[in-house]
Amino acid sequence: MEYPGNLFVVAAPSGAGKSSLVKALLELDSKLNVSISHTSRAPRGQEQHGREYWFTTVDEFRTMAARDEFFEWAEVHGNLYGTSRAAIEARMAHGEDVVLEIDFQGALQIKQLFPYAVLIFILPPSWEELEQRLTRRGDTDPAVIAQRMSNARLEVAQAQNFDFVVVNAVFDTAVFDLKSIVHAQRLKYAAQRRNRSAVFRALELP
Ligand SMILES: Nc1nc2c(ncn2[C@@H]2O[C@H](COP(=O)(O)OP(=O)(O)O)[C@@H](O)[C@H]2O)c(=O)[nH]1
Ligand SMILES: Nc1ncnc2c1ncn2[C@@H]1O[C@H](COP(=O)(O)OP(=O)(O)O)[C@@H](O)[C@H]1O
């Protein structure tokens, strides 16, 4: 499948800083749109239906999956998560740039469907720092942290299947790295289409 516009997929082990980085990237780049996923997990804290996620029951999720309403879906940490066609298809058809913040299983499914998608994997600077970030964020139940740390080892092994790896040590440096990848991809896309005005738009030149 091919649409005009760029598709970026960001994955990371839980606690590496993916949500914070994507949020910062979106604030810097008004041309990027983030996809809102569906999930069967319960809302946490201040989360709102339609803002962080579309919250569904397991049955609703499975019905959508059976109707082929997802581009990809996966089970992560015991819950179901998916990118619905409705969430991104219209935007992609209009040539907008879309970011998916999903797990590695979903990222690999997206690469199969859209080979031009740019897959970015966020790494924490160390295992110790990952554990500290998970603890600081308030996932205080040691069993939950232990489960996420053991999943993290499996997830990090998938980094080799991604196009880029960004290490989130100093936050602003990692945001800059992400911004550079987005910028470079826009230039590459414009150059491939031999479209001078698209190159200028990507460079933000008059
Ligand atoms: N495959 C897939 N994974 C998703 C989707 N949405 C979120 N995820 C992933 O599900 C995992 C759990 O997300 P979440 O419940 O928000 O917990 P957090 O990672 O601790 O913030 C993360 O790895 C997300 O990237 C989706 O639509 N598809
Ligand atoms: N570069 C960084 N240095 C220190 N703390 C960070 C950094 N990036 C993110 N954090 C913190 O780590 C925690 C996990 O970040 P979050 O964005 O929720 O991760 P994820 O979405 O990958 O699960 C949050 O408390 C966040 O403020």
Per-residue model confidence as pLDDT tens digits over 83-93? 999 989 999 99
Q: What is the number of the ligand 2 atom nearest to the C-alpha of 23?
A: 17
Ligand 2 binding site (Cβ under 6 Å of any ligand atom) = 12, 14-20, 133, 136-137, 168, 171
Spell out where the chain has E strands: 7-11, 32-34, 37-39, 53-55, 70-76, 79-84, 97-101, 118-123, 164-167
Nearest CA residue ID for atom 8, ligand 2: 17
Q: Which residues pair with 82 in a beta bridge?
A: 38, 73
- Rounded to whole angstroms, the Cα distance separating 6 from 185 reads 8
Q: Which atom of ligand 2 is nearest to the CA of 20?
A: 17
Whether the CB of 31 sits within 6 Å of ligand 1: no
pLDDT at 40 over 90: yes
Give per-residue pLDDT as tens, 110-136. Answer: 999 999 999 999 999 999 999 999 999
Q: Are the C-beta atoms of 118 and 163 separated by less than 8 Å?
A: yes
Specify the CATH class of 7-35+97-203 in words: alpha beta
ipTM above 0.85, yes or no: yes
* Residue 69 main-chain phi, psi, to 5 deg: -90, -5
Cα 190 to averaged position of ligand 1 atoms, centre (Å): 31
Closest residue by CA, ligand 1 atom 17 = 14
